[in-house]
Structure 1
Amino acid sequence: MGRSLRVPAIGLAVAGLLLAAVLSVGTTWLLVATGRWDAAAWGVLAEAWRAVAAFIPAAVVLVAFQVYRADQWWKRVEWALDAASDDEHPVRQLAGLTALNELRRPGSWRPPRQDDRMFRAVGAALSRHLARRWDEDGGPGADTRGGAE
């Protein structure tokens, strides 16, 4: 199975800015070295770099937000997996499964493809385990405490 490269849009924007910077510096160096660069050109270049520099903090904030969002999503997944595998507390288990289901929906942050496959496999294994357990115990409404009726 081949690996696919997934580059977020912000990564393309940052790569584009870096490429523009390299080309700008290279062009400037060539023009200065050949003597075809006058004083007015420095002013134009400075204005262009000011415009580009205005977007750098916004790009940094956007990347930081995406990293934070991904981190929070994984913390929620970790809690949901913990709760869904808690056999001693059925209400917490149901809450964990519900949270896992919600975290898979569109609009939620999506993990990379290989992590998504792992996430789905763990969720499916938990569902099979719970279905087997409920079948053995007589269903979710069965009284399994062993007390007198």
Structure 2
Amino acid sequence: MAQTHDRREATFVGRRSDGTIVRRPLSPHLQVYDMLQMTSLLSILNRATGAAWGVGLLFVVWWLVAAAAGPAAYAHVQWFMGSFLGVLILFGLTAVAWYHTIAGVRHLIWDAGYGYDIPTTYRTGWMTVIATGVMTALTWIVAIIAWAS
């Protein structure tokens, strides 16, 4: 039977200092991760919220351009942001911003060399999830109270 050779195969082969050949490991893919494992889930969520935050900045730019363009354009953006879809997007962006910020603080703690043991990793993971929910809810409660006043 003929073997197919992938040119990328050469990058997976290396040599030890004594000259013996070793195969380098491949990076794991999403199929390898257990999505219910706290560390995998939060890592994927951190990347996803970073991407969502980037998309959310388009709404901020739209709002700023409309504010500069005049009252009619600004009223159009305000109408959209006040619609059900707009409020849903703003709520999601609030959650995304809080999660990405809190997870970033968690990563800064890791960068300082703390919190690598498994119990601490899970505890700070749950703290990140709970803090995201609490801060998102508090942000919206304050916003609604300020809007109603």
Instruction: State TM-score, norm by structure 1.
Output: 0.31
Highest CA radius of gyration, 1 or 2?
1
Instruction: State TM-score, norm by structure 2.
Output: 0.31
Using CA pairs below 8 Å that are at least 6 residues apart, which structure has the higher relative contact order? 2
